[in-house]
Amino acid sequence: MNNLVERFRPLFYPRGIVITGVSAHPGKFGFASLHNLLCHGYEGEIFPVNRDGAEVLDRPTCRDVAEIPSGRADLAFLCTPAVANIENLLACARIGVRAAFVVSGGYSEAGEEGAAAERELVKVARDLGILLAGPNGQGLVSTAVKMCAQIVPPYPPPGRISAVSQSGNILSSYMNYGQLTGIGFSKGVSAGNGASLGLGDYIEYFAEDPDTAVGLAYLEGLRDGRDFVQRAMACTRRKPLVLLKGGVTSRGQKAASSHTGSLASNDRIFSGICRQAGIARAETVEEAYEVAATFATQPLPRGNRVVILTAAGGWGVLCADACVRAGLDLIALPEDLRARIDAVLPARWSRNNPVDMAGGETRETIPELLDCIAAHEGVDAVIYLGLGIQAAQAHVMKSSPYYPGHGLDRIADFHERQDRRYAEAATAASARHAKPVLCATELVYTDRAYGNSAPLAVAESGRLCYPSAHRAVNALAHLCAYAAYRRARENE
């Protein structure tokens, strides 16, 4: 068994969890973390510790860690004040705990005295052989064991993204997007002060973790930049890593006597290093999430030759512009592919890329087109625009005073079924030909209003439905850049 995977097992796959500082007060961290663990169905045993031994959430608690039977808990989730934590760690070690997540604040974020306490915490954990996460962190989730050990709510659906963040709320944002889109997480961890385990450690672990397909990180500062780059590269050699960096503009430029120095802003250097390390760098939280979700759900393209399939003109035109700007190759349609499309669409179609169906599609057209375009050896990726318009029409009909008469019920059902088929056909073509096929429509936002069947079906098929062509293009460009990075280094 891999050492790193084994080392992190008690943190992300604990058989049992000790929670210290459990409180009967629903406003306290020690209450919220027990509550979140219980209500998301954590599969292992939970051992809440409460100073008074009070019943909390209808469960008995222990007064002391020492009361917990030995060998049943791997992880300690410490919500006690900082002063109590050394004692707690010692007691936890005695009952066989091998990892600790420290929620408590009052450490290095709180001045020199706190920093000294943090150093002591690290030392004691190291001496006890306890893997130490935090302190001052928000918690962690691991969907394989249904563990939501967090003082805050978002618990994402299971999936293959694993996230680590130097900010608890950015981790929450990532996981909120997971809840909204359905593209889920394997693990999420708030690094807190990163006293012992830093961003690089988690990323190195994600690289080895068989349940992780893509790493997602939020970074503000590094103790050792070169070490981080080495670990990030260890990840990108095997799987993609998406990174959002905060604080790139704050430090400004160093005074420098050389020309090179005066041109060497932190951001320019960092951006070059991300390219060197094959890191997909995002500018915003939603971009970071979408790119990670794309890596987690789409196959890697073999090149950057793109065909756009669109139900109507404007979408295709703007998407084509976006592709060109992103450096994707909007290929001229190969003659044999054009001939195949000719056989399916009436003569008024665009006859080039974007493939604009110009309203010429019939019952079977879109699934056939998606498949034959994705199948072509000269095509590496497909972007499909305009799904959901039939289902949108169905929604209008179903809300109409004429409904269900005049055949509206039948046609509305037909429209909804068709759009669902298109979405499913996109995922099927992608899977069959092992190429990315990305669907984009702003109708994804209707999920709060009426739930357009097309984006719903995209989500149900396990893919992300992009809210705009531009966002699909951007995600695809990241896939292509990473694939090119890997190809260029295949023989190293």
Partner 1 sequence: MSRTLSEYDSKQLLREYGVATVSEHLAADADAAVARATRIGFPAVLKLCGAAIAHKTERDLVRLGLADAAAVRAAATELLARRRPEDGDAQLLVQAMVRGRRELIVGLVRDAQFGPCVMLGMGGILAEAMRDVVFRMAPLTLQDAREMLAEIKAAHLLDAFRGEPAVDRDALANILVAVGRIGVERETVASLDINPLIVAGATAIAVDALVEIADA
> Which of 2, 70, 262, 400 forms a contact with partner 1 (CB under 8 A)?
262
Give residues with Cβ within 8 angstroms of 137, minimum separation 6. Answer: 101, 102, 103, 168, 189, 190, 191, 192, 193
Distance CA 170, CA 469 (A): 25
CB of 200 to partner 1, least distance (A): 13
Residue 415's SS3 state is helix
Question: Does 247 contact partner 1 by CB under 8 A?
Answer: no
Q: Which range of residues in 84-92, 166-174, 264-272, 437-445 is near partner 1 by CB under 8 A?
A: 264-272
Extended beta strands in 79-177, E state? 99-102, 131-133, 139-142, 147-150, 158-165
Q: Which range of residues in 27-35, 259-267, 290-298, 463-471 is near partner 1 by CB under 8 A?
A: 259-267
Apex 27 CA angle, 22 and 32, nearest 5 = 50
> Which of 261, 378, 407, 451 forms a contact with partner 1 (CB under 8 A)?
261
Distance of CA 382 to the CA centre of its chain: 22
Extended beta strands in 3-124, E state? 16-20, 45-48, 75-78, 99-102
Residue 462's SS3 state is coil
Q: Which range of residues in 100-108, 174-182, 252-260, 471-479 is near partner 1 by CB under 8 A?
A: 252-260
CB of 296 to partner 1, least distance (A): 26
* Interface positions, 207-226, toward partner 1 (CB under 8 A): 222, 225-226
Question: Does 252 contact partner 1 by CB under 8 A?
Answer: no
For residue 45 the two structure tokens come to: 């045993």
Residue 126, phi then psi, degrees to nearest 5: -65, -45
Question: Does 250 contact partner 1 by CB under 8 A?
Answer: no
> Under rule CB under 8 A, how many of the chain's residues touch partner 1?
25
Residue 297's SS3 state is helix
Distance CA 168, CA 246 (A): 13
* Interface positions, 274-333, toward partner 1 (CB under 8 A): 275-276
Question: Does 263 contact partner 1 by CB under 8 A?
Answer: yes
* Interface positions, 132-161, toward partner 1 (CB under 8 A): none
Question: Does 253 contact partner 1 by CB under 8 A?
Answer: no
Question: Does 272 contact partner 1 by CB under 8 A?
Answer: yes
Nearer to partner 1, 59 or 489 (CB): 489
Q: Which range of residues in 37-45, 254-262, 292-300, 405-413 is near partner 1 by CB under 8 A?
A: 254-262
Nearer to partner 1, 70 or 276 (CB): 276
Question: Does 339 contact partner 1 by CB under 8 A?
Answer: no
Residue 318 in contact with residue 470, Cβ under 8 Å? yes
The residue ranges that bind partner 1 (CB under 8 A) are 222, 225-226, 229, 256-264, 266, 268-273, 275-276, 488-489, 492
